Structure 1
Amino acid sequence: MPRPSVEAERRPQILAAACAAIASMGVPALRLSDVSKQAGVSSGTIHYYFETKKDVITAAFEFNLTDSLARRHELLASGKDSLAILHDLVDSYLPSDELSVRAWKVWLALWAEGSRDPVLQEINDRLYGQWRDVVAGVIGAAQDEGTAKAGDPVLLANMLIGMLDGLAVQVLLESSSMTLATMRETCQAFVSGVIEG
C-alpha cells in the first residue's frame, strides 16, 4: 500500500495540535504560533493550510467532533447486542482518559464560541445531530430486540445525551459532588432504570 503524502498527513496533524492547544488554553488566548509549536511545524506551514485563526478553530472543532463520532462508530461494529452497545457508548463518552478529557474541553470551547458564531453553530448542529442519531438508533434497535422499554428513542436519546453533557461539565469543573465515578454510576443507572426493558 502506498504511503500517504505529507500533505495528507499534515492537515490532521495540525488539527490535532489545534485541539490540544484549544483544550489547554481555550480559544481567546490561542495564537497560531501555539498551534505550530504544538504541531512541530512552522507558522508558514499552518498558513499553507489555513488563512486565519478562525479557519483553524473552525476546522479543529469539526475535526474533534468527527473524530469522536468515528470512535463511537467502532463500538457499533463490536457485534454486541444493542443494549450492551448503549452501555459502552455511555462509558466511551465519559471524560475518563487524556483523549476524552481533551475532546470534552474542545467541545466546551466550541459551545462557548458557538453561542456567537453561526458557522460553529452549524457544525455543532450537523455533527451533534449525527451523535443523537447514533444514540437514538441504538436505543431503537434495543427496543426492536426486546431489551429496552417502549418509548420514543429520540426523546430517550436526548435525555441521555443531555445528562451526559451536563454531568461531564461538572466532572471537568472538578465538582466535589460529581466525580467521574458518580457520573458513570448515574448515567448507567439511567440506562438500566429508564431505558432497559
Structure 2
Amino acid sequence: MARPSRAHEKRAELIAAARQAVLKRGIADLRLRDVAEQADMSTGSVLYYFPALSDLLREVQREAVERFCVDRERAAQAEPDPRRRLLGMIRTGLPTSTDDELCVLLLELGTHARRDPAYSAQYIRLYERQVALYSSILEAGAATGVFTLTRDATTIARSLVVLEDGLSLHLTMAVPTLDHGQAERLLLAYAADSTGCDLEGFDAST
C-alpha cells in the first residue's frame, strides 16, 4: 500500500518557516538558505516544493492577505451598530506595535509589489476588500441616519484605507514617528469629519 503524500504538510511547514524568516531578516536580505535553516531542511528540499523563493513568498503573502481580510470581516459582521463597526474597523487596521506579525508581513512583502505584477495583484485585492468593507459600513450608517457622509462612501472608504497604510508604515519603522494611540486618533478624526459622527465620544458614552 502506497504511503500517503506529505507534500501538503511539507508545503505548509515551509510557508510557516518563510513567514518567520521574513519577520526575522526582512524581505530585502532574505535568502533561500534562511528559509531552509528555519525549516531545518536543505535548500534543495525547499526547491522541490517551491521552484523559486519568490513562489514561496507569494504563498506567504497570499495567506497573510487572507488572514488580515477575514479577521476584519468577522469583526465587522459581529457588530450590528454601524458606529461600532466603523470603530472596530479602524482599531483592527493598525499594527499594535513594531512586532505586529501580520501587519509587518504585509508591509515587508509589499515591497515586491513595485516590481512583480503577481504581488501587486494580491495587494490590489487586499485594497479592494478593505474598501468594500468600509463602504458597506458607511452606507449602512448613512441609511440608518447615524452618519451624514461628506463624500460618497467609496471615496471616504478609499481614503481610510490609504490612511491606514501610511500610518501603518510609520508605526512599524525602526524608530516610529508616532505611537498607536496617535495614529488611531488621526483615523478617528478623519472618520468623524467624513461621517459627522464623533466616534470617540460615542465610544466613551456607551
TM-score using structure 2 length: 0.80
- Where structure 1 has 5 or more consecutive residues not aligned to the other structure, the ranges are none
Per-residue deviation, residues 146-176 of structure 1 (Å, max 9, x unmatched): 2212331110011111111111111112556
Secondary structure of the structure 1 residue equivalent to 2:125:
helix
Post-superposition offset of 1:177:
4.5
User: Partner residue of 1:102?
Assistant: 101
Describe the shift of the 1:19–1:79 C-alpha distance in structure 2 as closer, same or farther (beyond 3 A): same
Describe the shift of the 1:144–1:65 C-alpha distance in structure 2 as closer, same or farther (beyond 3 A): same
Describe the shift of the 1:97–1:178 C-alpha distance in structure 2 as closer, same or farther (beyond 3 A): closer
Take 1:27 and 1:176, find their aligned partners in 2: how far apart are those partners?
A: 19
User: Partner residue of 2:185?
Assistant: 185
CA RMSD in angstroms, aligned pairs only: 2.5
Aligned structure 1 segments of 4 or more residues deviating by more than 6 angstroms: none
Larger deviation: 174-183 or 63-72? Answer: 174-183
Aligned pair count reads 192
Between the aligned residues of both structures, percent identity stands at 22
The one-letter amino acid paired with 1:138 is: I
Matches within 5 A, 1:35-50: 35-39=35-39, 43=43, 46-50=46-50
Post-superposition offset of 1:10:
4.4
The one-letter amino acid paired with 1:142 is: G
- Where structure 2 has 5 or more consecutive residues not aligned to the other structure, the ranges are 198-206
Take 1:162 and 1:195, find their aligned partners in 2: how far apart are those partners?
A: 17
TM-score using structure 1 length: 0.83
User: Partner residue of 1:76?
Assistant: 76
Describe the shift of the 1:13–1:157 C-alpha distance in structure 2 as closer, same or farther (beyond 3 A): farther
Structure with larger Rg: 2
Describe the shift of the 1:73–1:13 C-alpha distance in structure 2 as closer, same or farther (beyond 3 A): farther
